[in-house]
Amino acid sequence: MGGWFELEHRRGGELIDKRTVHNLIPTAGKAATAGLLVGIVTDFFDYLAIGTGTTAAAAGDTTLQTEIASGGGSRAAATLSRVTTSVTNDTAQLVYTWTFSSSFAVTECGVFSASSGGTLLARQVFAALNVASGDTLAITYKVAVS
């Protein structure tokens, strides 16, 4: 199991930055996924969160370092689907677009099982994406089972 996400930062509708970042599946995410396979865990991973933390992602992570909770950057329910990476429907995809009312240096992203708290499935830190009021940030997060 592994994943990555694509970021698209727009200002005034114009694309100003686009990146693909590979992620880390922490221990809690692996355990929860195994639990989903056998019905022990019932919480699906359907929320995306962004933050301003800069500490590297690690196997023991259970949260983002500094999750954004205001200014249009709060955790959000993603649009969910399955897409094909290697074989039909082998990849879970979560998509959300934030529209900011404040400025942030966004540096981390994660997938969670709840609108607050919940289990962290995946997390990664990346070079700062400086968003301003009125900007949008679209994230397409993919987790492949291969």
How many domains is the chain built from? 1
Q: Name the DSSP letter for residue 30.
A: H
Say what the pTM is.
0.94
Q: How far is the C-alpha of 95 from the C-alpha of 104, rounded, in Å?
A: 20
Measure the CA–CA gap between 14 and 65, rounded to whole angstroms.
Answer: 30
- At 97 the pLDDT is 98
How would you write the pLDDT of the chain (146 residues) with one tens digit per residue? 888 999 999 999 999 999 999 999 999 999 999 898 898 888 899 999 999 999 999 999 999 999 999 999 999 999 999 999 989 999 999 999 999 999 999 999 999 999 999 999 999 999 999 999 999 999 999 998 87
144 three-class SS: strand
The Cα 17–Cα 131 span in angstroms is 10
Question: Among 138, 128, 131, which residue's Cα sits nearest to residue 48?
Answer: 138
Domain containing residue 65? 2-144
Q: Which residues are paired to 109 by β-bridges? A: 50, 124
Residue 42: per-residue pLDDT = 84
